[in-house]
Amino acid sequence: MKTIQLEIDGKKVHAKEGATILEVARQNGIYIPTLCNHPELKPSGVCRLCMVEISKNKRKNLVASCVYPAEENLVVKTDSEKIRKIRRMIVELLWPTVPALAKEFGVEKSRFVPEHTECCLCGLCVQYCAEVGKLNAAYFKGRGINREVAVLPELVDDCAYCTKCYGLCPGGWIVIQAMAL
């Protein structure tokens, strides 16, 4: 497999062609926060917490590092003021469901009033249920501020007894939800 060179936060790094920016950063000890990324699941870019700023051909862009492929001569910034503002806003949108991230980004309250405060909508349970569990019981219902994780009524019992996604939930909401089923 071909090896490429790129720059992350001023550091020249090498990567295997096809690796994502997040993978390359982690391999080189560079921290990029994530919620929706899990080694057993395909990258989805749902949470957008892993946003980074890239420069390519004199153009700058914001991308989700978990799904964006590393490219030859790509310049990546993982911790600019713009990126910190985006991450703080994402944590505010998820507040108070992600207390560790709130502390990390200095978020003590949110200027947004969340409709649902239990689930951070990372999608790990939905994705795990489909990709690994092959049950397809959990799904996203609604859009925008009304979006929530739901379970198909005909699969409620199967979902409640499966429990395989419980360890993935950053806020523990899925365990509480299953107990209510």
Query: What pLDDT was estimated at residue 1?
Result: 78
Query: What pLDDT was estimated at residue 167?
Result: 81
Query: What pLDDT was estimated at residue 80?
Result: 93
Query: What pLDDT was estimated at residue 98?
Result: 82
In order along its 181 residues, the chain shows pLDDT tens digits of 799 999 999 999 999 999 999 999 999 999 999 988 888 889 888 889 999 999 988 899 999 999 999 999 999 999 999 999 999 999 988 877 888 888 999 998 888 765 556 788 888 889 999 999 898 988 888 887 678 888 888 988 888 788 888 888 876 666 655 555 5
Query: What pLDDT was estimated at residue 116?
Result: 55
Query: What pLDDT was estimated at residue 119?
Result: 80
What domains can you pick out in the chain, each with its CATH number?
3-78 (3.10.20.740), 124-180 (no CATH)
Residue 158 half-sphere exposure, CB side, CA atoms within 13 Å?
A: 12
Query: What pLDDT was estimated at residue 115?
Result: 55
Say how far apart CA 96 and CA 98 lie, in whole Å. Answer: 6
Say how far apart CA 58 and CA 48 lie, in whole Å. Answer: 24
Beta bridge mates, 51: 64
Report how far Cα 66 is from the mean position of its chain's Cα atoms. 8
Query: What pLDDT was estimated at residue 178?
Result: 57
Residue closest to 44 by CA, chosen among 153, 140, 167: 140
In the numeric block, which tokens belong to residue 15?
Answer: 């990567």
**DSSP readout, 36-94?**
S--TTS-----S-TTEEEEEETTEEEEEETTTSBP-TT-EEESS-HHHHHHHHHHHHHH
Q: Kindly state the DSSP code that residue 11 receives in the 8-state scheme.
A: E
Query: What pLDDT was estimated at residue 16?
Result: 95
In the numeric block, which tokens belong to residue 156?
Answer: 């409620």
